[in-house]
Amino acid sequence: MRRNLEIVLIVTILLAAVAIRVDFNLAYPAELFGDSIHIAKFAESIAQTGAFPTDFGIYWSPGVVYFLGWLIPVVGNDFNYLCYRLVQSVLSVVSLSGFYILARRLFGRQAGMLALLFLAFYPPLVFYSSMIFAENLFFWLIPWLFLALYKWRESGGLVYPAVSGVLFGLIHLIRPILIPLPVIFVAWFLITNPRESYKTFLLKQIPVCAIAGLLILSPWIAHNYALYGKIITSSAVGGLNFYIAHNENANGKWVQIDVNSDVIKLSGTPEGDKLGYEEGLKYIRTHLGYELEMLWTKANLFWTKSGEFWGGKASQLWKEKYGIPQFEMRYLSFFFVIFLILGMRKWKYWFPLVGYIIAYQSMILVLYYADRYRSIVEPFLLVFAAAVLAKGYHLAKKGWFNFARFIRNRV
């Protein structure tokens, strides 16, 4: 009976999550802006020619560009890609299922249900379903990668290393920001597993994972090598982003740099990538004091700033149409700290998730803060908040029962 009720609740929440995302996309015009304009143009080119346009070099990672490009002939591009945004709404809910399973697996049934509820009605996740950005595909895959990694550690074998490699490869083509995660996972495995498992892990499972990932990346690597004679596994704008973060106009957030600079003119190419890093490092060496100030600014923005969407228009519509309160980022950060304190003794369970968040925050410190860049850790922070509240409920319930028993004994 209890199991049936849980299934009914899960299905109800997922259907409500789909409904509110679809309804929001139907109600909101979701104008293209920023990178989404260019991503859509690239996707339109793929829909027409089947080839990735290289007018701007390898500027955008291919994942979302190809995904949208392949779907345009089927779903069309009317009303700011409405049908595609509706597809994203469904994919968003698929990702919620993954986060629910992950939260339930690590922190229990109540935490899993709370996490699902939070994720279903977390406004930024609804807003992102209406944007043409790589983050939406990233949300779709990332919980399943973590689930595969956990199964790998617990079950061994070669299936989960292969699945993990495929997911690593796909996510790298969408947003190449998981570079620290393999290191975190290997460290976690070696620290928490018996020494006799090391040989199989290092000599069989790791190679299988690497080969699976390289097989996914190989067509794109070959494409880029034919163009530039260089190995480019996703995009070639790391140097540009580094220079955007470290130049005379830098302020800790995205800033427009001189469009006539060589870094911009060569962006998307190996030469532009190299030049961006060189110019950025040159600025850091001559402005160390200001760079330290920006570190604090970026950390403060990362942990306290709530996201803004279309100048606040999306939030205003959300407030007027649904009246569901928004989660302030500083509260999620507070729950994260509480989680670390309460869960310190069980660090073996959450080490990869927390390691991922800290590593990604470190990457933001190296580059610059943007709401959508921070977005890919927010689902995990919601999971941690759910874990804290579930733990608090259990502690309160236990304390109340102990108090009631004490009173009964005295009476």
Task: Look at residues 390, 411, 282 and name the one whose alpha carbon lies nearest to residue 342.
Answer: 390
Q: Dihedral (C-alpha) 112, 115, 119, 122: value to the nearest 10 degrees?
A: 160
C-alpha span between 150 and 158 (Å, rounded): 13
The answer, yes or no, to whether residue 397 has pLDDT greater than 90, is no
Cβ atoms 103, 31 nearer than 8 A: no
- Give, as one character, the DSSP assignment of residue 55: T
Statement: the pTM of the whole predicted model exceeds 0.75: yes
Residue where the block lists tokens 């470190």 = 362
pLDDT given for residue 394 in this prediction:
82
C-alpha span between 170 and 221 (Å, rounded): 13
Cβ atoms 318, 326 nearer than 8 A: yes
pLDDT digits (tens, 9 = 90+) for 372-392: 899 999 999 999 999 999 988
pLDDT given for residue 112 in this prediction:
96
DSSP codes of every residue in 102-116: HHHHHH-HHHHHHHH
pLDDT given for residue 402 in this prediction:
54
Task: Look at residues 31, 143, 39 and name the one whose alpha carbon lies nearest to residue 93.
Answer: 143
C-alpha span between 364 and 177 (Å, rounded): 10
The backbone torsions φ and ψ at residue 253, rounded to the nearest 5 degrees and listed phi first, read -120, 180
pLDDT given for residue 401 in this prediction:
52
Q: If residue 345 lies in a helix (H) or strand (E), which one and from where to where? A: none
pLDDT given for residue 409 in this prediction:
52
pLDDT digits (tens, 9 = 90+) for 340-377: 998 888 898 899 999 999 999 999 999 999 998 999 99
Task: Look at residues 128, 179, 178 and name the one whose alpha carbon lies nearest to residue 372.
Answer: 128
C-alpha span between 160 and 145 (Å, rounded): 10
The mean pLDDT of the chain is: 91
pLDDT digits (tens, 9 = 90+) for 22-61: 999 999 998 998 889 999 999 999 999 999 998 888 988 9
pLDDT digits (tens, 9 = 90+) for 48-96: 999 999 888 898 899 999 999 999 999 999 999 999 999 999 988 889 9
pLDDT digits (tens, 9 = 90+) for 131-161: 999 999 999 999 999 999 999 999 989 999 9
Average pLDDT over residues 258-267: 89
pLDDT digits (tens, 9 = 90+) for 158-212: 999 999 999 999 999 998 888 888 999 999 999 999 999 999 999 999 999 999 9
How much of the chain exceeds pLDDT 90, in percent?
76
Angle separating helix axes 347-366 and 378-410, nearest 10 degrees: 140
- How many CB atoms neighbour CB 397 within 10 A? 10
